[in-house]
Amino acid sequence: MGNETLQQFAALDLDYLIIGGGTAGLAVAARLTEDPEFRVGVIEAGPSVLNIDDNGAINVPGRYGETIGSKYDWKFKTTPQPGLGGRSLPWPRGRILGGTSALNLMAWNRGHRKDYDAWVELGNENWGWEDLLPFFRRSENFHPPSAAHQKHYQSSYDPQANGIKGPLHTTHAKQYGPTHQYWHETLNSLGVQSTRDSLAGDNTGVWNMLCTIDPDSQERSYSASAYYQPVANRPNLHILTEATAMEILFESEDDDWYAVGARVRWNGLEANIKAYEEIIICAGSVQSPQLLELSGIGDQDVLEAAGIETKVHSPNVGENLQEHMMTATIFEIPSAIPTRDDILKDPIQREAADRAYYASRTGPWTVMPCSVAYCPLSKILSPKECDELHTQAKEVARNTGRTHDALLASQFESGQARGQIEYLFDLGNWSPYFVSEPGKKYATMLQMLQYPFSRGSIHIPPMRENNYEKATIDDKPVIDPQYFLGPGEIDKKVMAKALRWGDRICQTEPLAKLIRGRVFPPPAKGADLEEKVHEEFVSKYTVTDWHPVGTCAMGEADGINGGVVNDTLQVHGVHALRVVDASIMPLQVGAHIQATVYAIAEKAAEMIIEDYFARNGPL
């Protein structure tokens, strides 16, 4: 039930209070309230657009990216990054009911099975591939492509890998751009084989990305529309939008801290919202650590500098930040080829696209960038280069003593086949740094590093020096990804060498017949000069791939010294408090993280219910 006031919400008798009505939060809420005895409240800082007419920027698939930097975006920024030439990067995050699932590019894939098995190697039981597979399947309602679609677009699938009864619609794009027909053949000729179904535990190879789109309505399927809207009238589910959680409330008993609620601000008013069973933080990799620190859970030095009284010294809160990194190489193509840029720049073409979409759910707004390849390092690097980087990575692992780094180093071993670099080719200029010339057309090769060594942090800021006021929820967190610094130097080397392989893809037939030449970065004369161009390009033009994880990581084996939550996602050092979102991932996965976040939420909901009955017995 939505549209409640703060006073009404504060008067509720809640069993569970969820902070964050985003990707994970609404999934958890929907699953918990399947039992009519569980009373659940959700606090969301952003608005809902479910029942407004002007929501095309959210719902229309081909309009992806329009909401970045809008009122639905938190508009975070990183600190200036020395590894990126001092640049500060925008970090979009969803400030809307549905969270970032309402803003993302709707990509739907899973990591390699070894990605999740690595979480188990770190001591987190029941988080391996086979453990998570039922929850991956539980979240999705996969719509198989027609036989004609499979033949024309090579949209194969494995029925055993896909869920068909979940809330979230997933499907192959209705249409692909004109270059897609060459993608598989080009990569196949380079020795990268087509993968039948990237969701089956091995996403290495070339394949077509699924999308979170309802194929009947041709609209985005996201947590608000898929998990919440169908059950919005449940009397035991309560949503308060445009409300900000300021801190978690605790009570002390026998020197133990118990989470009992949250201080919430709505429409200029404040109130304490209580829950009898648990508080569940689903605020994402940026704001979950922020909220923990503002509530007195974090590294004592960070808290004292911010003027926050320490309840629990938890040194890993906000640490272990990992992020996929991306570059966009631009190629000129013949001016006769239609691109998405045409629609974005020409009001007449945009109006025609709108008419086609709203009249028959066809046209350019149903075309999605789904031609991808996940390439292992053995394809991208020479054996000598792999050996050199393996030696460097093993040295990093020896110096840190961290199992995380040893697991990352193993990717350079011979025989390893996980896709370290994701390549995505699409028509149009995707780069924020390259200005298109009038009358010319372009295509973009995106490359995205999947398993970074770079480790950063997200913390609340220190007190203001002029008045010594303590940090509050209104102070933007300090986001410092530490791109390419320390062990992250390995990332920079891999990214630079991966550009070379991206060029090779674009120089290979049949894709090459559509490409006139690379224009950004401009080509150099000679291999040595090209290598220097690639290195400079990576430093100057790497951006975020919008997949931050790890800032409230699971660390069961070493307790509070190894992580922020245990393997049931309960926060170390306190009671009745969990974190459920991408921040709990101890190691990055080789995939767009949306599907993994939904699986985490599905698994968390089951654990929460099991724990309730273990404590209280049957209802």
Q: Alpha helix locations (H) across 346-488?
A: 347-360, 377-380, 383-400, 403-409
DSSP state of 426: E
Alpha-carbon gap, residue 64 to 426, rounded angstroms = 14
On whether the CB atoms of residues 368 and 106 are closer than 8 A, the answer is yes
Residues recognised as catalytic:
547, 592
Task: Tell me the C-alpha distance between 420 and 591, whole Å.
Answer: 10
User: What tokens does 529 get?
Assistant: 């000069």
What three-state secondary structure class fits 208?
A: strand
| Residue partners of 198: CB distance under 8 A and separation at least 6 | 109, 110, 205, 207, 209, 210, 374
What angle separates helix 129-139 from helix 594-616, to the nearest 10 degrees?
A: 100
Q: Which of 211, 481, 440 is nearest to 331 (CA)?
A: 440
3-state secondary structure of 125: coil
Q: Is 547 annotated as a binding residue?
A: yes
112 is in an annotated binding site: no
Q: Which residue has tokens 């050199």?
A: 388
- Name the strand (E) or helix (H) holding 479: strand 478-480
Q: What are phi and psi of 484, to 5 degrees?
A: 65, 15
- How do strand 107-108 and strand 90-91 relate by DSSP bridges? unpaired
Question: Is 149 part of any known ligand binding site?
Answer: no
Residue bearing tokens 């390849």:
373
What letter represents residue 526's amino acid? G
Tell me which residue of 178, 117, 145, 187 sits closest to 374, measured CA to CA.
187
Distances (CA, A) of 159 to 196, 219, 309: 11, 23, 53
Rounded Cα distance between 190 and 154, Å, is 18
Q: Is the dihedral of CA 345, 428, 94, 80 positive or negative?
A: negative
3-state SS, 73-86, equals ECCEEECCEHHHCC
Annotated binding site for FAD: 100, 546-547
Annotated binding site: 100, 546-547
